[in-house]
Amino acid sequence: MKSNLEQFLKENEGNKELINFIADNKINDQLFIEYYDLFQEYVTSCNLCKKNENIVKCQQKIQGYRLKLNINTNQKVISFLTECSHTISNLKQKELNDKFLIRHYDDALLSLSWSKEFITAGRGRQEVISYLKTFQLKTSAQGLYLYGDTGVGKTYIFILLANKLIQKKHTVSFISWPQFVTEFKSNFENKNDNIKKLEQIKNCDFLFIDDLGSESISPWERDELLFSILNARVLPLKTTFISSSYNLSDLARCYRPQANKIEDTKVKRLIERIKKLTKPIELTDFKN
């Protein structure tokens, strides 16, 4: 048995578009019954698009498009196709992706945002929150050097922050340092492309260097890549974030393959740049 208009509205009280359509166009019980099947088809279409998921999960008859209601010039209720939430979500994701100069994390993580659990847990995370309250998305500020064991959330925190910054229309580079070094070496023949990437990293508003120290370390990578990038961001100060499994003392030992005065000087200069650019915070497990 077909429901009446009042019952139908109650069943779909969460559909503001439907409620506004019926109110704005003064749809009465008679008109509702006349176009009952069309209203039901519209609701079914809407219910397939309640989540902002990837478009591959869209179950609409025409993928990426759902039904929307309208009144034509003859005062007849009609339906037409409009972009569904899957399409809208994908377009927003692409828009965000295009703002990154370099991004070494998956598209699916672009939707991550701060949670209550993150804010309330862990002393290290409380230090991060305190920093963010004073940071206020400044493009010229001391960033963070997050260090700790694998799995404590260093990369996760930086992804959350990068997502926030990109939404504010800043230029952002998020690089996994081991991946960047590998890609740079494999692209030696394309010198102009490598130079362009280096300039983007040196000059972007916000730079994230993830997993520093876990690459196959060489003096060339240390001096020609890492030091040149960090040195370029010290003056004028450009906000930089770094994560590593090592504290600064251990990181210095990682980047000193030989114990001699020349190596000591080069490593000391590198660590000084990191200290000028970032504030060290240790992350332990989620509860501490």
pLDDT, averaged across the chain: 88
Query: 197 with 64, same domain?
Result: no
Cβ atoms 46, 17 nearer than 8 A: yes
- At 158-210, the pLDDT tens digits run 999 998 898 887 899 999 999 999 999 998 888 888 999 999 999 999 999 99
Give the residue from 22, 54, 89 where a domain finishes.
Answer: 89
Per the domain annotation, does 278 fall within a domain? yes
Contacts of residue 249, defined as CB under 8 A and 6 or more positions apart, other chains included, come to none
What does the alpha-carbon distance between residue 213 and residue 217 come to, in Å, rounded to a whole number?
7
| pLDDT higher than threshold 90 for residue 68 | yes
Q: Residue 131 pLDDT > 70, yes or no?
A: yes
The count of structural domains within the chain is 2
User: Do 73 and 135 lie in a common domain?
Assistant: no
Q: 193 and 248 in one domain?
A: yes
Question: Per-residue confidence at 116, pLDDT binned at 50, 70, 90?
Answer: low
**Mean pLDDT on 245-270:** 92
Whether residue 127 sits in one domain with residue 266:
yes
What share of the chain has pLDDT > 90, as a percent?
55
Q: Between residues 152 and 92, which one has the greater pLDDT?
A: 152
Q: How confident is the model at residue 125 (pLDDT cuts 50, 70, 90)?
A: confident
> 83 and 208 share a domain?
no
68 shares its domain with 114? no
Query: Same structural domain for residues 77 and 55?
Result: yes
Taking 50 as the threshold, does the pLDDT of residue 288 lie above it? no
pLDDT value of position 286: 53
pLDDT-based confidence at residue 15 (cuts at 50, 70, 90): very high
CATH of the domain at 153: 3.40.50.300
Question: Could you tell me the residue range of the domain that residue 218 belongs to?
Answer: 99-282
H/E/C letters for each residue in 131-172?
HHHHHCCCCCCCEEEEECCCCCCHHHHHHHHHHHHHHCCCCE
- Helices 16-24 and 36-47: crossing angle in degrees, nearest 10, is 150
Residues 17 and 141 in one domain: no
Domain boundary among 58, 89, 120: 89
The DSSP symbol for 49 reads: T
First CA to last CA distance, the chain? 59
pLDDT in tens, 85-106: 888 777 766 666 667 788 999 8
